[in-house]
Protein backbone atom coordinates (compact mmCIF):
# COMPACT_ATOMS: atom_id res chain seq x y z
CA UNK A 1 0.00 0.00 0.00
CA UNK A 2 1.24 3.52 -0.87
CA UNK A 3 2.33 5.59 2.11
CA UNK A 4 -0.06 8.51 2.68
CA UNK A 5 1.31 12.07 2.40
CA UNK A 6 0.85 14.02 5.61
CA UNK A 7 -0.54 17.46 4.70
CA UNK A 8 -0.94 20.05 7.48
CA UNK A 9 -3.03 23.12 6.74
CA UNK A 10 -3.25 25.90 9.33
CA UNK A 11 -6.69 27.47 9.84
CA UNK A 12 -8.48 24.66 8.03
CA UNK A 13 -11.84 25.01 9.75
CA UNK A 14 -13.38 27.71 7.55
CA UNK A 15 -13.38 29.47 4.17
CA UNK A 16 -10.64 28.62 1.74
CA UNK A 17 -8.81 26.24 4.10
CA UNK A 18 -11.92 24.13 4.59
CA UNK A 19 -12.67 24.10 0.83
CA UNK A 20 -9.15 22.82 0.13
CA UNK A 21 -9.61 20.06 2.71
CA UNK A 22 -12.89 19.09 0.99
CA UNK A 23 -11.16 18.95 -2.40
CA UNK A 24 -8.18 17.02 -1.06
CA UNK A 25 -10.55 14.68 0.76
CA UNK A 26 -11.24 12.70 -2.41
CA UNK A 27 -7.60 11.55 -2.49
CA UNK A 28 -6.99 8.41 -0.42
CA UNK A 29 -3.21 8.93 -0.61
CA UNK A 30 -3.50 11.94 1.72
CA UNK A 31 -3.67 12.28 5.49
CA UNK A 32 -5.09 15.74 6.10
CA UNK A 33 -4.33 17.55 9.33
CA UNK A 34 -6.32 20.69 10.07
CA UNK A 35 -4.33 23.03 12.31
CA UNK A 36 -7.04 24.79 14.32
CA UNK A 37 -6.74 27.08 17.34
CA UNK A 38 -10.20 26.03 18.57
CA UNK A 39 -10.66 22.34 19.42
CA UNK A 40 -14.42 22.75 19.06
CA UNK A 41 -14.14 24.15 15.52
CA UNK A 42 -11.49 21.56 14.63
CA UNK A 43 -13.63 18.63 15.77
CA UNK A 44 -16.67 20.01 13.93
CA UNK A 45 -14.71 20.47 10.69
CA UNK A 46 -13.21 16.95 10.91
CA UNK A 47 -16.67 15.45 11.53
CA UNK A 48 -18.10 17.28 8.50
CA UNK A 49 -15.24 16.24 6.23
CA UNK A 50 -14.93 12.63 7.40
CA UNK A 51 -18.42 11.73 6.19
CA UNK A 52 -17.48 12.12 2.54
CA UNK A 53 -13.70 11.72 2.45
CA UNK A 54 -11.50 9.01 0.96
CA UNK A 55 -8.52 10.64 2.64
CA UNK A 56 -8.01 10.28 6.38
CA UNK A 57 -8.54 13.49 8.38
CA UNK A 58 -7.63 14.71 11.84
CA UNK A 59 -6.95 18.03 13.51
CA UNK A 60 -4.13 19.34 15.66
CA UNK A 61 -4.46 22.24 18.10
CA UNK A 62 -2.43 25.08 16.66
CA UNK A 63 -2.43 28.82 17.30
CA UNK A 64 0.26 30.31 15.10
CA UNK A 65 0.58 33.40 17.32
CA UNK A 66 1.63 31.23 20.27
CA UNK A 67 5.09 29.65 20.18
CA UNK A 68 4.16 27.08 22.85
CA UNK A 69 1.18 26.00 20.76
CA UNK A 70 3.37 25.68 17.64
CA UNK A 71 5.93 23.66 19.55
CA UNK A 72 3.23 21.35 20.99
CA UNK A 73 1.81 20.80 17.49
CA UNK A 74 5.27 19.92 16.14
CA UNK A 75 5.74 17.37 18.96
CA UNK A 76 2.33 15.85 18.26
CA UNK A 77 2.96 15.52 14.51
CA UNK A 78 6.41 14.06 15.17
CA UNK A 79 5.05 11.53 17.65
CA UNK A 80 2.20 10.41 15.40
CA UNK A 81 3.80 10.51 11.94
CA UNK A 82 7.54 11.16 12.36
CA UNK A 83 7.54 13.56 9.41
CA UNK A 84 5.55 16.19 7.49
CA UNK A 85 5.20 16.21 3.70
CA UNK A 86 3.30 19.44 3.01
CA UNK A 87 2.76 22.53 5.18
CA UNK A 88 0.08 24.96 3.95
CA UNK A 89 0.22 28.20 5.93
CA UNK A 90 -3.35 29.33 5.33
CA UNK A 91 -4.38 30.90 8.68
CA UNK A 92 -4.69 34.68 8.53
CA UNK A 93 -6.63 37.62 9.88
CA UNK A 94 -7.79 41.00 8.60
CA UNK A 95 -8.91 42.06 12.07
CA UNK A 96 -10.91 45.03 10.79
CA UNK A 97 -12.72 45.48 14.13
CA UNK A 98 -9.65 46.48 16.13
CA UNK A 99 -9.97 49.76 18.02
CA UNK A 100 -6.90 51.38 16.51
CA UNK A 101 -4.63 51.13 13.50
CA UNK A 102 -1.76 50.23 15.84
CA UNK A 103 -3.66 47.19 17.18
CA UNK A 104 -4.76 46.13 13.70
CA UNK A 105 -1.17 46.41 12.37
CA UNK A 106 0.14 44.37 15.32
CA UNK A 107 -2.51 41.69 14.93
CA UNK A 108 -2.13 41.32 11.15
CA UNK A 109 1.66 41.10 11.31
CA UNK A 110 1.61 38.71 14.28
CA UNK A 111 -0.66 36.24 12.47
CA UNK A 112 -0.04 36.77 8.76
CA UNK A 113 3.72 37.32 8.74
CA UNK A 114 5.44 36.37 12.03
CA UNK A 115 3.15 33.38 12.62
CA UNK A 116 4.05 31.87 9.26
CA UNK A 117 7.78 32.49 9.76
CA UNK A 118 7.61 30.75 13.17
CA UNK A 119 5.53 27.83 11.90
CA UNK A 120 7.95 27.14 9.03
CA UNK A 121 10.94 27.42 11.33
CA UNK A 122 9.40 24.95 13.80
CA UNK A 123 8.13 22.40 11.24
CA UNK A 124 11.24 22.50 9.04
CA UNK A 125 12.98 19.51 10.74
CA UNK A 126 9.86 17.38 10.11
CA UNK A 127 9.59 18.57 6.49
CA UNK A 128 13.23 17.51 6.03
CA UNK A 129 12.22 14.01 7.16
CA UNK A 130 9.69 13.71 4.32
CA UNK A 131 10.33 10.64 2.20
CA UNK A 132 9.14 12.48 -0.93
CA UNK A 133 9.52 16.07 -2.15
CA UNK A 134 8.32 18.29 0.72
CA UNK A 135 6.40 21.51 0.08
CA UNK A 136 5.75 24.75 1.97
CA UNK A 137 2.85 26.77 0.56
CA UNK A 138 2.20 30.17 2.12
CA UNK A 139 -1.23 31.59 1.32
CA UNK A 140 -0.86 35.27 0.49
CA UNK A 141 -3.13 37.67 -1.36
CA UNK A 142 -3.26 39.96 -4.35
CA UNK A 143 -3.61 42.68 -1.69
CA UNK A 144 0.05 42.05 -0.82
CA UNK A 145 1.26 42.69 -4.37
CA UNK A 146 3.36 45.87 -4.58
CA UNK A 147 2.98 45.96 -8.38
CA UNK A 148 -0.80 45.91 -8.18
CA UNK A 149 -0.74 48.70 -5.60
CA UNK A 150 1.52 50.77 -7.86
CA UNK A 151 -0.92 50.21 -10.71
CA UNK A 152 -3.96 50.81 -8.45
CA UNK A 153 -5.72 47.65 -9.62
CA UNK A 154 -9.43 47.34 -8.64
CA UNK A 155 -8.39 44.93 -5.89
CA UNK A 156 -5.95 47.45 -4.39
CA UNK A 157 -8.65 50.14 -4.47
CA UNK A 158 -11.10 47.96 -2.56
CA UNK A 159 -8.52 47.29 0.12
CA UNK A 160 -7.56 51.00 0.29
CA UNK A 161 -6.20 52.33 3.59
CA UNK A 162 -8.85 50.35 5.50
CA UNK A 163 -7.00 47.15 4.68
CA UNK A 164 -3.44 48.49 4.72
CA UNK A 165 -2.46 46.42 7.78
CA UNK A 166 -3.54 43.21 6.04
CA UNK A 167 -1.97 44.21 2.71
CA UNK A 168 1.36 45.15 4.33
CA UNK A 169 1.44 41.92 6.35
CA UNK A 170 0.90 39.90 3.16
CA UNK A 171 3.65 41.86 1.34
CA UNK A 172 5.90 40.95 4.29
CA UNK A 173 4.80 37.32 3.98
CA UNK A 174 5.84 37.38 0.32
CA UNK A 175 9.33 38.49 1.34
CA UNK A 176 9.47 35.86 4.11
CA UNK A 177 8.52 33.19 1.55
CA UNK A 178 11.21 34.30 -0.90
CA UNK A 179 13.77 34.11 1.91
CA UNK A 180 12.53 30.60 2.81
CA UNK A 181 12.67 29.53 -0.85
CA UNK A 182 16.28 30.71 -1.17
CA UNK A 183 17.37 29.31 2.21
CA UNK A 184 15.65 25.91 2.18
CA UNK A 185 14.59 25.27 -1.42
CA UNK A 186 16.14 22.57 -3.55
CA UNK A 187 15.34 19.18 -5.03
CA UNK A 188 13.85 17.91 -1.75
CA UNK A 189 11.87 21.00 -0.65
CA UNK A 190 9.79 23.40 -2.73
CA UNK A 191 8.43 26.71 -1.44
CA UNK A 192 5.59 28.81 -2.89
CA UNK A 193 3.31 31.76 -2.32
CA UNK A 194 -0.26 31.04 -3.46
CA UNK A 195 -3.28 33.34 -3.69
CA UNK A 196 -6.81 31.94 -4.02
CA UNK A 197 -8.34 35.16 -5.43
CA UNK A 198 -11.42 36.84 -3.96
CA UNK A 199 -13.50 34.08 -2.31
CA UNK A 200 -16.43 33.84 0.12
CA UNK A 201 -15.09 33.36 3.65
CA UNK A 202 -15.07 34.73 7.19
CA UNK A 203 -12.07 36.94 6.47
CA UNK A 204 -14.06 40.19 6.28
CA UNK A 205 -17.55 41.54 5.76
CA UNK A 206 -16.59 42.15 2.11
CA UNK A 207 -16.10 38.45 1.34
CA UNK A 208 -19.66 37.86 0.12
CA UNK A 209 -21.40 36.81 -3.11
CA UNK A 210 -22.97 40.29 -3.27
CA UNK A 211 -19.48 41.80 -3.51
CA UNK A 212 -18.46 39.41 -6.28
CA UNK A 213 -16.56 36.85 -4.20
CA UNK A 214 -16.44 33.40 -5.82
CA UNK A 215 -16.91 30.08 -4.10
CA UNK A 216 -13.80 29.05 -2.11
CA UNK A 217 -14.01 25.73 -3.99
CA UNK A 218 -13.06 27.56 -7.20
CA UNK A 219 -9.68 28.53 -5.78
CA UNK A 220 -9.15 25.21 -4.02
CA UNK A 221 -8.46 23.07 -7.09
CA UNK A 222 -5.52 25.27 -8.03
CA UNK A 223 -3.93 24.79 -4.63
CA UNK A 224 -4.44 21.02 -4.75
CA UNK A 225 -2.27 21.00 -7.89
CA UNK A 226 0.52 22.78 -5.99
CA UNK A 227 0.14 20.33 -3.07
CA UNK A 228 0.40 17.42 -5.52
CA UNK A 229 3.64 18.71 -7.05
CA UNK A 230 2.17 19.65 -10.43
CA UNK A 231 3.76 23.11 -10.17
CA UNK A 232 7.12 22.23 -8.64
CA UNK A 233 8.94 23.83 -11.59
CA UNK A 234 7.56 27.18 -10.33
CA UNK A 235 9.37 26.86 -6.97
CA UNK A 236 9.86 30.32 -5.41
CA UNK A 237 6.96 31.81 -7.39
CA UNK A 238 3.85 33.80 -6.45
CA UNK A 239 1.20 31.49 -7.89
CA UNK A 240 -2.50 31.76 -8.63
CA UNK A 241 -4.76 29.15 -10.17
CA UNK A 242 -4.21 30.52 -13.67
CA UNK A 243 -0.49 31.31 -13.59
CA UNK A 244 2.08 33.52 -11.89
CA UNK A 245 1.10 36.61 -9.95
CA UNK A 246 2.80 40.03 -9.90
CA UNK A 247 5.01 40.61 -6.82
N1 LIG B 1 -11.08 35.17 1.08
C2 LIG B 1 -10.38 35.83 0.16
O3 LIG B 1 -10.93 36.52 -0.72
C4 LIG B 1 -8.89 35.73 0.16
C5 LIG B 1 -8.19 36.38 -0.88
C6 LIG B 1 -6.83 36.27 -0.90
C7 LIG B 1 -6.17 35.55 0.08
N8 LIG B 1 -6.87 34.94 1.08
C9 LIG B 1 -6.14 34.18 2.07
O10 LIG B 1 -6.70 32.89 2.18
C11 LIG B 1 -6.41 32.37 3.48
C12 LIG B 1 -7.67 31.81 4.11
O13 LIG B 1 -8.53 32.88 4.44
P14 LIG B 1 -10.12 32.80 4.32
O15 LIG B 1 -10.51 33.83 3.33
O16 LIG B 1 -10.56 31.41 4.16
O17 LIG B 1 -10.54 33.39 5.75
P18 LIG B 1 -11.27 32.73 7.02
O19 LIG B 1 -12.54 32.06 6.61
O20 LIG B 1 -11.35 33.85 8.00
O21 LIG B 1 -10.23 31.63 7.51
C22 LIG B 1 -9.10 31.98 8.25
C23 LIG B 1 -8.71 30.79 9.10
O24 LIG B 1 -7.52 31.13 9.81
C25 LIG B 1 -7.71 30.74 11.16
N26 LIG B 1 -6.85 31.52 12.05
C27 LIG B 1 -6.82 32.86 12.24
N28 LIG B 1 -5.88 33.18 13.15
C29 LIG B 1 -5.30 32.01 13.54
C30 LIG B 1 -4.26 31.66 14.45
N31 LIG B 1 -3.65 32.61 15.18
N32 LIG B 1 -3.90 30.37 14.56
C33 LIG B 1 -4.53 29.41 13.85
N34 LIG B 1 -5.54 29.65 12.99
C35 LIG B 1 -5.91 30.96 12.84
C36 LIG B 1 -9.19 30.97 11.43
O37 LIG B 1 -9.58 30.26 12.59
P38 LIG B 1 -10.82 30.71 13.50
O39 LIG B 1 -12.04 30.10 12.85
O40 LIG B 1 -10.51 30.13 14.82
O41 LIG B 1 -10.87 32.20 13.49
C42 LIG B 1 -9.77 30.40 10.14
O43 LIG B 1 -9.84 29.00 10.19
C44 LIG B 1 -5.79 33.52 4.28
O45 LIG B 1 -4.38 33.41 4.26
C46 LIG B 1 -6.21 34.74 3.49
O47 LIG B 1 -5.35 35.84 3.68
C48 LIG B 1 -8.22 35.01 1.14
Q: Which domains does the chain have, with CATH numbers?
A: 5-244 (3.40.50.720)
- Beta-bridge partners for 244: 239
Mean per-residue pLDDT, 24-29: 94
Q: Is 38 in the pocket of ligand 1 (CB under 6 A)?
A: yes
Where is pLDDT greater, at 5 or 157? Answer: 5
Confidence of residue 163 (pLDDT cuts 50, 70, 90): confident
160, pLDDT greater than 60:
yes
The atom number, within ligand 1, closest to the CA of 37 reads 33
Hey, which of 91, 94, 104, 106 would you mutate to test ligand 1's pocket, going by the most ligand atoms within 8 Å of its Cβ? 91
% of the chain exceeding 90 in pLDDT: 81
Compute, in angstroms, the gap from residue 169 CA to the centroid of ligand 1: 13
- Beta-bridge partners for 89: 138
Atom 32 of ligand 1: nearest residue by CA position: 63
At 219 the pLDDT is 82
At 191 the pLDDT is 98
Cβ contact 140:203 at 8 Å: no
At 14 the pLDDT is 93
What's the Cα-to-Cα distance from 63 to each of 38, 60, 141, 179, 206, rounded to whole Å?
8, 10, 21, 23, 25
pLDDT by residue (tens digit) across 165-196? 999 999 999 999 999 999 999 999 999 999 99
Amino acid sequence: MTQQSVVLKTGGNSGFGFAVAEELGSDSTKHILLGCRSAEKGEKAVAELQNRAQATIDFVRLDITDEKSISAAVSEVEKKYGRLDVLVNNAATLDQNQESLALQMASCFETNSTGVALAVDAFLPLLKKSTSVARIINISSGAGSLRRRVNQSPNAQVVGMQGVAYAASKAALNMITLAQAKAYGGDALKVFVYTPGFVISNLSTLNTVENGAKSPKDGALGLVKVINGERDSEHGGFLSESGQYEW
